[in-house]
Amino acid sequence: MTIEQSQNTILTSPKKGNLVCVGTGLQLAGQIGALSLSYIEHADVVFSLVPDGFCEHWLKSLNADVRSLQPYYAQKNEVKNRRDTYAEMVGAILDEVRLGKLVVCALYGHPGVFACVGHLSIKQARSEGFDASMLPGISAEACLWADLGIDPGNSGHQSFEATQFMLYNHVPDPTTHLLLWQIALAGEHTLTQFSTTTEKLQILVEHLNQWYPLSHEIILYEAANLPFQLPVIERMTLSTLPDAKLTMISTLLIPPASKMTLNEEVLAKLGITALDIG
């Protein structure tokens, strides 16, 4: 091959595709990392999955080719399994990666927390030999601790998706904070519905009552999406949860119901007394 032929091959060969999944944070434009912002600005195509038109418009101000993934969800009066929706989203993303483009998938909050599209797309891209990576974003959990003024390091915390918590033998520690995500879908296992029922929430309450009294205070939380909004922080008793007004971004926080106790056996092995702990 001559030098001229080699140069022509380089010029005509498609560049190798690359996928980067980034998080936009919770509040419009204010919670995104500098590196994620740069990828959005320089991408050949940006796929977006964000909660409102404000965020979509902001992304379009950064890149001329922004494509929303929202239309892949079931449309009005359509019953569609979300597994099919996610597969179609991944297919659309990978089609552009295969064309040799730098593709960015901009996802609300953190792109890898309760958001399977990023993980599925990265896994598929890597299996086909493409470079794929994820950059973190500010999640709803990060906002929750800040808005409620709680340091989860003081007593620890556990975190479960609400339906998974109901269907599997998870055992919460009532001395820690318990987070139940997607509470508005509690008990919904078909992946075709976008709401739970009062009856299913009552089953959850009865399940939680093994560890928490019905009079125990719980908190429904929703992070603010826009800078001029305030977070939703609604306190109630566990017994009243079935009647609560829930949205798709509602998160349930159950504060500790009992105090931590010292592990005397480990203290003895360490040569520590209760007085040393303070």
Give catalytic residues, as residue numbers.
82, 86, 108
Distance CA 120, CA 90 (A): 7
Buried b / exposed e over 51-66, threshold 16 CB at 10 Å, is: beeebbebbeebbeeb
**Amino acid at position 31, single letter:** Q
Amino acid in position 96:
E
Residue 107 to residue 105: CA distance in whole angstroms: 6
Contacts of 219 (CB under 8 A, 6+ apart): 148, 233, 234, 235, 236, 252, 253, 254, 255
b/e 73-82 (16+ beta carbons within 10 angstroms → b): eeeeeeeeeb
Q: How far apart are CA 91 and CA 68, in angstroms?
A: 14
